[in-house]
Structure 1
Amino acid sequence: MTGAQAAAAALRCEAVRCVFGIPGAQNNDLWDAFKAYEVPYMLVAHEASASVMADASARATGEVGVFSVVPGPGLTNCLTGIGEALYDSVPIVGIVTDIDRAANAPVGQVHGLPNEALLRPVVKALFTVRHQAEIPGAIFQAFRVARSGEPGPVGVMIPYPFFNEVWDYDHAPPPPLPVPFDEAAYQRIVGHLRDRRKRIGIYAGVGCAEAGPSLAAVAEALQAPVATSVSGKGVIPDAHPLAVGWGYGKQGTRAAEKAFQDVDLVLAVGVRYSEVSTANYAIPKTDVIHVDINPENLGRNVPTLHCLCSDSRVFLDRLLGDVATICRPPAPALVQKIQNLRQVDRCEARTVKIEPCVDPMYFLSQLRCVLGPEELIFVDVTASTHWASETVEVQASRRYFTPSDNQSMGWAIPASIGAQRVRPDRHVVCVTGDGCFLMSAMELSSAARLGLPVKFFVFDDGAYHYMQMLQEPVYRRTTATEIAHIDYAAFAKGVGVGYNQIASNADVVPGIQRTFGLAGPILTHVRVSYDGREIRWLSALRSHYINELSNRQKVRLAARIGVRAVTPKDDSD
């Protein structure tokens, strides 16, 4: 085979659902081999979308996502999406072409940036091919590493001359990497859980995505309320009697905050305690036992009693084997309390509080009601992202998606398209903001070209409102937050997607139903306002930020606010 054929054959061995990207001068041989070997592929509108779509493909299926781009700008355009996969623990493999790196290679080659140096900081591992014989082995190893431990992105860099070189290949996929487990640490954890005087709460992250039934069974044995991180939404069904929503501090749902006030010991499983999920580490001080597959995450952001490096499912299944020693009697009062708290949260979300435009939280609550339990929702980085985390309830993993930790604006548009490409059996919804829309809107042309029926909802208030909420209380003005007006109807027509508009709360349910009644990809323009509701995450962030300031910094902040309040100047832009 040629090196290009070997690469395509290796991807076919891995049963890749789709390779996302754009062919270029240095990898045309590879893309031709994709076609010859019947490896599914998708042309994207912008290379930045290639890694995002691979990320979304992995999130939606639980399999490794794949993208392929040329070096130089192809790679640099993909770095943001690769970083999102790294921070959100998503297994993707990037097949990145490189220039000719031979000793006698000419200088001044096109796309000749230091591609290895650019890629290495944002991947778990980088396999650089030095001979065409290494191509399939490098790809197999990349898939193994991407899936193992804490999942993440892996790069395979192949200088383009190797695609035309021929070799007699005979490579078998390598066996899976071993899963660590410290028996002594596990027994210490069981010793704490055995003490029935301790009231346990479970904080679960995306590391539990494949361990949902085991997680629910352990929670029932411990009679423990279960809160999740943002990316962990769905690891326990929101309908479960012990599920309290996301977070367990002031940044999460009220149900989670109040339920965890009675907890003596938090069992944190498959979760990092990242900045976003904790509102800048505003975590209540409670004893914590931390279990995670990545030893670098253990005990880093919160003090812990004990840590265990383990796969979440392996740990939870072991606990179920010791269930007789850790179980608690049924606690109907706890279940009733959780039910009451969650009902208050639901009523709060479903009560209109913002007029005359659409109330985003009300919209999100109604969107969830209209959708079935199996449908996929992608939410972008907007002022309403945290309302979505509170309001959108899901009944299993891989139903709710947002760029949790790298927070890439514009991520949800290409992500939803990539997910629809590999999950044609599901309805896919994208909720984005007008600012995010500016960053990736042309990708709607890809949905139109392929007839991918994603339903895109754009929240429009004419500004980067998230930044306004952060700036105004501190500076008493906003800077560089007002954005251009977009004619969404004309844009939809221009890229070939259907159009709908929702301009009032009264039209929310009919408007959502109209969107789903239309075939193909639809852009729905939603006129929103953010004035009139608290964003709990933002309130927790501000409170924690002020508490962390030194006295001198607090005086400076108060002085600035005082001066600008007395002498207001209308210079917001």
Structure 2
Amino acid sequence: MQRPLGAQISHMLKDRGVDVIFGIPGVHNQEMYRGIEEAGITHVLARHEQGAGFMADGYARATGKPGVAYVITGPGLCNIMTPMGQAYSDSVPMLVISSCLDEVAARKGQLHQMKDQRAAAETVCDWSEEAQTSDAAYALVARAFAEFQTQSPLPKHIQVPIAQLVADADPAPPAPRAMRLPGVNQDAVATAAKQIGNAQRPLFVFGGGAVRAGGKDGPARAVLERSKAASFTSYAGRGIASPDDPLHFGASLARPGSADIFAQADLVIFVGTDLAEVDLWREEPGHTCPAIHVNLDPQVLARAEAADDAHQADAFGWLTTLAVALEAAPGTTDWRADDVAATRARWRAETDAERPGIVPICDALRDVVPADTMIYSDMTQLAYVAKEVWDMDRPGHWHHPYGFGTLGYATPAAIGGAVARRGKPTMAMIGDYGFHYTMQELGVAVELGLPIPIILWDNGKLKEIEDSMIRAQIAPNAVVAQNPDFCKLAEAFGARAAAPKSLEALQNAVTEAFAAQGPTLIYITPELTE
């Protein structure tokens, strides 16, 4: 039967598997809220649209399903553009649906008016379109979900004029039975298997696009075992390779010395990685040998050298096919396990020397968090160290604002992840300055009773920026801000708080936080290991 289009959109989303929407209602988008409960969808009320966007991002990374957010015209959309930019840089499936004014050219001074909000949103997402009819709205939602399933997952924005949201519309067409990823070219994989089998020092690099292929029973580990190859992962790919693999170099691509390892390889296989600046922090990996690139994104494949092979394919399907091919013809290797171990030990010591006192905190946390914990970290020195020295035994369980590099990500993203994984452990790791950006979302975690330990690292300043200024011979300026009493602030929201003074006390606080009825802010400072 006919309902207002705003309600019909929620029913369409439910038909496509959406069970949670994050957002904030307003007079412009209230029609979108008419159908949420009727469709059987849970709505999570954020305290700020930026928080809603990060929650949708965290939900998407936890589930692999699109995170959906509803926002209002103008400022609501502007507020969520930072999370949209983060999702775009990290290939996270997010759908933002906003209201928009019916007309902006001939009439000025309207509530929430922007000159061109559709174009503004397009600067931070895959595409941004306006649906001027119900059929257009349905077509755009269907297009978004089709692309989420068959291409590199990137955020989309759909805006619907207020008059259309209010108008009655027929129901949306049903979802298709299945969307399939591009098929794997069997001959191309067979050729790749021969190249790998003939190589003496093959080197795999796994990125976030290969997460689904990782883990104990995933094809990535079978490929490594049969090929006798060494491996790296990007930060987003941690856990794809086994931390116990004696030929695994870890998530240490950004170590300058990793270029020397690449120079020793005679074949490099890049799977599901963009080789972004934030992966390498240098222009090139360092190899001079041929390479194989496996990626869904043609833009990434276009960067392959003349001697390289490029495969447009889903990492899971490609690695599954390769594992079968290598079973009959396993490889050999000149890589030495003791050399890998020595290299990793040297890189760990470098990391510890660069930011003293943090490695022991990471080790203490790693030893006490439950095995299935999903961790969301922020732009903070605690996380920068942890990403290098904290081995993950499973993929897709550590999420960070890698490319866009925004502050304030961890707390709301962890809330989105905890909503997605009710009953499973979730933890946030954030710095004192980043916590200021989205601290209000702590109220959402309290409201929902989410047992999230929030590790707040307070070094009293923007320490990473201070260090960078000193290296550039700039007198440190504007790097110190007045902080509140974070524990009292958390308690004012209704959360628990702890300020451990030793590593053992930190471990006890984390264990208690996972068993609590709501979030716990765990406040730590550099004095913890001094």
Tell me, yes or no, whether TM beats 0.5: yes
Query: Per the alignment, do residues 513 and 116 of structure 1 end up closer, same or farther by CA in structure 2, a change over 3 Å counting?
Result: same
- Range with bigger deviation, 387-396 or 336-345: 336-345
Q: Kindly provide the amino acid, as one letter, of the partner of residue 234 in structure 2.
A: S
Query: Per the alignment, do residues 305 and 491 of structure 1 end up closer, same or farther by CA in structure 2, a change over 3 Å counting?
Result: same
Query: Shift of the alpha carbon at 1:262?
Result: 4.0
Counting only pairs closer than 5 Å after superposition, residues 117-516 of structure 1 correspond to structure 2 as 117-169=119-171, 171-174=173-176, 176=179, 179=182, 186=189, 189-196=192-199, 198-212=200-214, 213-248=218-253, 250-251=255-256, 262-281=264-283, 283-287=285-289, 288-298=291-301, 300=303, 305-323=308-326, 327-329=330-332, 334-335=336-337, 337-338=339-340, 354=356, 359-505=357-503, 507-516=505-514
Query: Per the alignment, do residues 91 and 517 of structure 1 end up closer, same or farther by CA in structure 2, a change over 3 Å counting?
Result: closer
1:438 and 1:234 map into 2 onto residues whose CA distance is 30
Query: Shift of the alpha carbon at 1:190?
Result: 4.3
SS at match of 2:499: strand
Match of 1:115 among 113, 117, 135: 117
Match of 1:23 among 5, 22, 25: 25
SS at match of 2:35: helix
1:111 and 1:498 map into 2 onto residues whose CA distance is 37
Give the conservation status (yes or no) of the 8 Å contact 1:456–1:524.
yes
Query: Shift of the alpha carbon at 1:407?
Result: 0.6
Query: Per the alignment, do residues 502 and 299 of structure 1 end up closer, same or farther by CA in structure 2, a change over 3 Å counting?
Result: farther
1:47 and 1:492 map into 2 onto residues whose CA distance is 21
SS at match of 1:66: strand
**Per-residue CA shift, 1:294-329, capped at 9, x if unaligned?**
010125388862222221122212322422575214
Root mean square deviation, CA, Å: 3.0
TM-score norm. by structure 2 comes to 0.90
**Per-residue CA shift, 1:470-495, capped at 9, x if unaligned?**
11011252121111122112211221
1:372 and 1:350 map into 2 onto residues whose CA distance is 24
> Which position in structure 1 is the counterpart of 2:85?
83
2:191 and 2:254 map into 1 onto residues whose CA distance is 27
Query: Per the alignment, do residues 343 and 465 of structure 1 end up closer, same or farther by CA in structure 2, a change over 3 Å counting?
Result: closer
Count, aligned residues: 522
Q: Kindly provide the amino acid, as one letter, of the partner of residue 203 in structure 1.
A: V
- Range with bigger deviation, 431-440 or 27-36: 27-36
Give the conservation status (yes or no) of the 8 Å contact 2:29–2:73.
no
Query: Shift of the alpha carbon at 1:415?
Result: 0.5
2:339 and 2:113 map into 1 onto residues whose CA distance is 62
**Per-residue CA shift, 1:194-216, capped at 9, x if unaligned?**
424x3101000011011121111
Q: Kindly provide the amino acid, as one letter, of the partner of residue 460 in structure 1.
A: D
Query: Per the alignment, do residues 150 and 133 of structure 1 end up closer, same or farther by CA in structure 2, a change over 3 Å counting?
Result: closer
1:2 and 1:334 map into 2 onto residues whose CA distance is 66
Give the conservation status (yes or no) of the 8 Å contact 1:148–1:176.
yes
Q: Kindly provide the amino acid, as one letter, of the partner of residue 393 in structure 2.
A: Q
Query: Per the alignment, do residues 510 and 172 of structure 1 end up closer, same or farther by CA in structure 2, a change over 3 Å counting?
Result: closer
> Which position in structure 2 is the counterpart of 1:542?
none
Query: Shift of the alpha carbon at 1:76?
Result: 0.6
Give the conservation status (yes or no) of the 8 Å contact 2:236–2:396.
no
Query: Shift of the alpha carbon at 1:18?
Result: 1.1
- Range with bigger deviation, 293-302 or 88-97: 293-302
**Per-residue CA shift, 1:413-460, capped at 9, x if unaligned?**
110111111111211111100111111111111111221111111111
Instruction: Identify unmatched segments of 5+ residues in structure 2.
Output: none
> Which position in structure 2 is the counterpart of 1:66?
68
- Range with bigger deviation, 503-512 or 267-276: 503-512
SS at match of 1:483: coil
Give the conservation status (yes or no) of the 8 Å contact 1:53–1:418.
yes
Query: Per the alignment, do residues 200 and 91 of structure 1 end up closer, same or farther by CA in structure 2, a change over 3 Å counting?
Result: same
Give the conservation status (yes or no) of the 8 Å contact 1:194–1:325.
no
2:134 and 2:514 map into 1 onto residues whose CA distance is 49
Query: Per the alignment, do residues 250 and 350 of structure 1 end up closer, same or farther by CA in structure 2, a change over 3 Å counting?
Result: closer
Q: Kindly provide the amino acid, as one letter, of the partner of residue 270 in structure 1.
A: G
Instruction: Identify unmatched segments of 5+ residues in structure 1.
Output: 533-573
TM-score norm. by structure 1 comes to 0.84
Give the conservation status (yes or no) of the 8 Å contact 2:150–2:179.
yes
2:276 and 2:403 map into 1 onto residues whose CA distance is 7
Query: Per the alignment, do residues 494 and 187 of structure 1 end up closer, same or farther by CA in structure 2, a change over 3 Å counting?
Result: same
Q: Kindly provide the amino acid, as one letter, of the partner of residue 360 in structure 2.
A: Y
Give the conservation status (yes or no) of the 8 Å contact 1:182–1:309.
no
Query: Shift of the alpha carbon at 1:160?
Result: 1.8
Query: Per the alignment, do residues 465 and 346 of structure 1 end up closer, same or farther by CA in structure 2, a change over 3 Å counting?
Result: closer
> Which position in structure 2 is the counterpart of 1:555?
none
Query: Shift of the alpha carbon at 1:263?
Result: 2.3
Q: Kindly provide the amino acid, as one letter, of the partner of residue 412 in structure 2.
A: P
Q: Kindly provide the amino acid, as one letter, of the partner of residue 499 in structure 1.
A: A
Give the conservation status (yes or no) of the 8 Å contact 1:91–1:146.
yes
- Range with bigger deviation, 476-485 or 412-421: 476-485
Query: Per the alignment, do residues 249 and 487 of structure 1 end up closer, same or farther by CA in structure 2, a change over 3 Å counting?
Result: closer
Q: Kindly provide the amino acid, as one letter, of the partner of residue 44 in structure 1.
A: A
Query: Shift of the alpha carbon at 1:238?
Result: 2.2
Give the conservation status (yes or no) of the 8 Å contact 1:290–1:299.
no
